Amino acid sequence: MPIRRDSKGRYVEVELRRAEETLWLRCRECGELVFRRKLKETNHICPRCGAYFFLTAQERIASLVDRDTYAPIESGYASDDPLAFVDRRPYRERLDEAQAITGLNDAVVVGRGMVDGRPLLLAVMDFRFIGGSMGQVVGEEIAVALERAAELRIPFVLVVASGGARVQEGAVSLMQMAKTVAARNLLAAANVPFIAVFTYPSTGGMLASVASLADVTIAELGAMIGFAGPRVIEQTTGQRLPESFQTATFALEHGVVDQVVPRESLRAELARALLVLSGDHNG
């Protein structure tokens, strides 16, 4: 994982790990061993150096949603491996491994909950699951969440942690861009607000579809936001990339996001946005 962000909002690379398996996590930035339970209190920010640990979908949900208000919406979908794809390893194996490690069907978790007493429909991506890539299951789950939000008339919040499309599903994953956008249009027709939260990373096909169509977009400090990978850009254009390229600040400066906030303020920021957007749907 090519992950290292400096200055404020560094992201700390954490190896794929089974949820709740280890008691201690080492900060890759400063080397500090941090007690896992302690991390929960600090929003998974290193108490010594301030670097951000990756959040699993469940950890992200817990950090945003009011205590005891979260109710998952489980579809039970799992990838069909539509292309019967094999590279150096069968995709099937990668899926099984990712499922075992994360305990998830795929790279997104959908549910209902409250933030500061305001209801929302939440879809949170999990980067551990094949880089948070969008294949048929992620596309389906996000579409279901959007449709449900439209039906219930409660705001939809998408927390992005995705490297882009799921390459192993080929054109099937490409179709998920159209699928999620179609469902997003349905939510728009129902006049229900949509807030996107960009975290590390928010890139590729995920960014070039539903994620870029929110009414309000909040970036977590340390997010990476961009369509093409930095290496691809350098190779194609021979251009030198600016220092701040594809950071949250870069996105803010270029009009791509509305706010950039540190992790510890994300929940309050979301609550503020929900307050002004969903006053009519209180409770």
Partner 1 sequence: MVDDSAIRALEAKLVELRQMMEAGNVDLTEELAMLESKLLKLRREQYARMSEWDRVKLARHPERPRGLPLVEAMAHAFYELRGDRMGGDDPALRGGPAILGDHRVMLLFHHRGSTPEEQRACRHGMATPEGYRKSLRLMEIADRLKLPVISLVDTPGAYPGVQSEEQNIAGAIAQSISRMLSLNVPTIAVILGEGGSGGAIAVAAADRVLMMENATYSVISPEGAAAILWKDPSATPQAAQALRLTAPQLLELELIDAIVPEAIGGAHTDPKRTAEDLRATLCQQLTTLCERPLDELRHLRYKRYRNAGSARTPTDPS
Chain positions contacting Zn ion, by CB under 5 A: 27, 29-30, 32, 46, 48-49, 51
CA separation for the pair 77, 107 (Å, rounded): 11
- For the record, the structure tokens of 261 come out as 């906030």
> 220 and 263 in contact (C-beta within 8 Å)?
yes
Within 17-56, residue ranges assigned H as helices are 36-41
Q: Rule CB under 8 A: is residue 140 a binding residue for partner 1?
A: yes
Instruction: Please state the closest distance from residue 219 (CB atom) to partner 1, in A.
Output: 13
| C-alpha 200, offset from chain centre | 7
99's CB contacts (< 8 A; 6+ apart) are 78, 105, 129
Instruction: Please state the closest distance from residue 226 (CB atom) to partner 1, in A.
Output: 5
Instruction: Please state the closest distance from residue 245 (CB atom) to partner 1, in A.
Output: 7
What is the CB-side half-sphere exposure of residue 55 using CA atoms within 13 A?
A: 34
Per DSSP, the three-state class of 29 is coil
Instruction: Please state the closest distance from residue 129 (CB atom) to Zn ion, in A.
Output: 25
Instruction: Please state the closest distance from residue 139 (CB atom) to partner 1, in A.
Output: 7
Of 31-39, 96-104, 231-239, 272-280, the segment contacting partner 1 by CB under 8 A is: 231-239
30 binds, among Zn ion, partner 1, none (CB under 5 to 8 A by kind): Zn ion
Q: Rule CB under 8 A: is residue 98 a binding residue for partner 1?
A: no
CA separation for the pair 33, 151 (Å, rounded): 46
- For the record, the structure tokens of 19 come out as 């949820």
Instruction: Please state the closest distance from residue 6 (CB atom) to partner 1, in A.
Output: 19
- β-partners of residue 132 are none
* Closest to partner 1 by CB, 137 or 221: 137
Burial 246-272 (b: 16+ CB within 10 A, else e): bbbbbbbeeebbbbbbbbebbbebbbb
Of 1-9, 19-27, 107-115, 252-260, the segment contacting partner 1 by CB under 8 A is: 252-260
Using CB under 8 A, pick the residue from 239, 244, 268, 282 that binds partner 1: 239
What residues make contact with partner 1 under the rule CB under 8 A? 75-80, 82-83, 85-88, 136-137, 139-140, 143, 165-179, 181-186, 204-205, 207-213, 226-229, 232-233, 236-237, 239, 241-242, 245-246, 250, 254-256
